[in-house]
Structure 1
Amino acid sequence: MPSFTGSPTGPSPTRTRGRWLMSHPGPKLEPLDLSDEEREVLRGWIRKRKQSQDLVLRARIILLCDRTGLGGVPVSQCQVARDLGVNLATVRKWRRRFTERRLRGLTDAPRPGRPRAVTRDQVITVITESIDSDGGRPSTRAVAARAGVSQSTASRVIRAVIPVSGENAPY
């Protein structure tokens, strides 16, 4: 492993596995100053079983970036990248987004595509219309007509909200 002596004006670089490593740290990092609430939210994301693994990785990155080393200096981004086995650019990206927008910066942006065809108000109308005050249930066609949606959409909404059990279930 070749090593070069540095000049009095700069550090001495060392070549390791095809990369040049400098003997001094990178730019000084500002602490993230996570609040207790933010820390709990990030830990909750990590603990959730059905959470997006991308979001879990981002939470791990931020929690590791919040650690401090000797002298109260934040842990280097290179160390966080090594600990998690990710690229340094990934750690920089999510640390920067977190400092700019806090927890909102870690979530995915809305994806392009077709917007929802059924509005929230229509879903609420389907649910309220499907429950009679008499205790009976109107047909899905009648509910769909009053809500302004198709019969299959009304049926899908009702099945998602109202539990159906047994052979004689109305839907």
Structure 2
Amino acid sequence: MARETGLHLDTVRRWRGRFAQAGLPGLKDRQRWGRPASCTPLQATEVKALACRLPAETGAPISRWSCPEPAREAITRQT
């Protein structure tokens, strides 16, 4: 199965075990640990779309994007 799906063998084993134990409900996403998302999926998509454009096209006063700048620009546009 791992070879056919291109997944790691451990992943297939984990999923098979969950399915054997709980059936289809066992394959649902489980709650994840870590910090909750700080933005909505729509906001994340807008920032990614902005980052794919050159800053000059958007009117941003910079020559290239750094990591936090697309998010900062998106926040500025929303206000």
Aligning the two structures, in what range does the TM-score lie when normalised by the shorter sequence?
A: 0.3 to 0.5
Computing the radius of gyration from Cα coordinates, the structure with the larger value is 1
TM-score by length of 1: 0.19
Larger RCO (CA under 8 A, 6+ residues apart): 2
Query: Normalized per residue, which structure has more helix?
Result: 2
